[in-house]
Structure 1
């Protein structure tokens, strides 16, 4: 009888992280999981797909969905990203609305607030980056936002230093229904290797390039082969961009930029997979790919 009660007490479910771009959703996801499952960047709109991370404890399993930042789209890819984020609200057991404590509410924040109207799913307001603001300013932010929606809880946190993350986990788990364990204990994401490798490479592009280059980039893993005899993971990847000028920036003088992208990505991939990685990178131009349905479909950007 005790075992049956224990099983019934186990909670599981899906939680969406939503918010405008650059509020720290991916950083928060990684901090909650305790491992890197989503790429991070100071640039807005880093997350394009719905990233799934899994947190398993003795009492619960939370499947997090890190959504693209809600913004005013300027191309078909941007439209896909917003629709993907909004559609997630209808698919989860709880919503974590993430806002930036350091910045006042922007028009994009209000776009997110509007999407919550009429939503019956419980919403937790997560005020991130509290390590960057004094307490009086934080209290003003809380007072200003508490009227936006009937939030189940308001939790000030810092994904960077871990402030209040345990409290957030506890309150989140309490909102989940009793349910089964969907994934094995040691699984932290359900994305395939190809997706993860492409995202790690794209993250290095985001860190190392400037201006218009990062958001015009897509990484396609053309070949992935694990050779057991040599314990090496062979990766052939193509970085697509939209203009020849962007291609030149990505390659750099005498190939220096592309070499640096490859070195940094390889180091992280070797640590992630626990094996040597042979990474071969190429850069190609695919004009206006962000507005081409065929290219978006090829890379997994199907409209929700």
Structure 2
């Protein structure tokens, strides 16, 4: 009996492009099956591309979770938007993820200020895709929050823009439709050897991953009090003889009056951030973690050239 030859392996890059808070990080985490990108209720929390590695049959999909595309106002904004478009340009496949609920608004057709911004950002992305003359995959997200008839109308309207060759309706939150999108991405990957071991889920340096996990916890706890005014740096990462790791991190804030916000009464807020971050890191790294957090005021961290270099962003974007 003749054995069936194994399927040829495939490997390539798939960029997930979208407006802030479209659900890009949630989708990447869902496709990979583990946490590789931070997810918070704050918009624009992904500051640089995070590569998650997803496996589907004989295909390896390296997912580039790009920063959200929006109208830049600061140096950091410009660097993030440029990083997003660069990631999309270099990828073998591009998914334009759209928040369907944000595009449609409430039942009476009215849009909140945040939804207005989302619609404007989506229009900007469509214009950019037309300029690039590249066909991409449209993924309408959060379909569990909108009515089917309005969803179909949105799909038809967006497909008529002429920049898409496939449409998928998904919910990154509950996983609906995500498996179909994953299989399609796997088919689009070029034939070739896998770029990473089959059990590797990300190529983010562990020090940077640890900092991102803690930054997520800062925003989860302080999303109203501390809008975009914090950065986290892993200042020390040491392996211990017991198999664990000792991690020291500094949380940077811009003003002196923000420091007590991060600390909380009796240090309870910082303690909560450290506990939640440590729990995630222990699960992701599968080893005991000893985490020590410090809070420092550094007013110019968003203009520090080394911050951009360490996070893979262009300072002069």
Give the TM-score band, short-chain normalised: over 0.9
Partner of 1:270: 282
CA change 1:83–1:277 in 2 (3 A) is same
For residue 161 of structure 1, the aligned residue among 152, 171, 174 is: 174
TM-superposed CA distance for 1:44, in Å, is: 0.5
Aligned length: 301
The reply to whether residue 133 of structure 1 matches residue 133 of structure 2 is no
Structure 2 residue 83 is the aligned partner of structure 1 residue 84: yes
Aligned partners of 1:93 and 1:122 also within 8 Å: no
Q: Give the stretch that moved more between structures: 53-62 or 233-242.
A: 53-62
Tell me the TM-score normalized by structure 1. Answer: 0.93
What's the CA shift string for 1:206-264, capped at 9, x where partnerless? 10003362412111111111112x23310110001111111121111121111110011
For structure 2, the residue ranges without an aligned partner over 5 or more in a row are 104-117
Within 2, Cα distance between the matches of 1:279 and 1:176? Answer: 39
Distance 1:299 1:163, change over 3 A: closer
Residue 289 (structure 1) aligned with residue 301 (structure 2): yes
* 1:201 counterpart (191, 202, 214): 214
The answer to whether the 8 A contact 1:95-1:121 is kept is no
Q: Name the residue aligned to 2:199.
A: 186
Distance across 1 between alignment mates of 2:82 and 2:128: 11
Deviations 1:254-287 (A, max 9, x none): 2111111001111111122222211110001111
Any idea what SS the aligned residue of 1:195 has? helix
Offset of residue 4 of structure 1: 11
Query: What secondary structure, in the 3-state scheme, does the structure 1 residue paired with 2:12 have?
Result: strand
- Give the structure 2 partner of residue 245 of structure 1: 257
The answer (yes or no) to whether the contact 2:18–2:69 under 8 Å persists in 1 is yes
Runs of 5+ consecutive residues of structure 1 not aligned to the other structure: none
Alpha-carbon contact 2:16-2:88 (below 8 Å) kept: no
Q: SS of the residue aligned with 2:89?
A: coil
Match of 1:74 in 2: 73
Please report how far the alpha carbon of residue 292 of structure 1 lies from its aligned counterpart in structure 2 after TM superposition: 3.4
**Pick from 126, 137, 140: which aligns with 1:113?**
126
Q: Deviations over 1:48-72 (max 9, x none)?
A: 0100001123321110000000011
CA contact (8 A) 1:71 1:108 kept: yes
- 1:94·1:121 contact (CA, 8 Å) conserved in 2? no
The alignment partner of 1:257 has SS state of helix
Give yes or no for contact 1:93–1:121 (8 Å, CA) kept in 2. Answer: no
CA distance in 1, matches of 2:139, 2:288: 39
Contact persistence 2:71–2:121 (CA under 8 A): yes
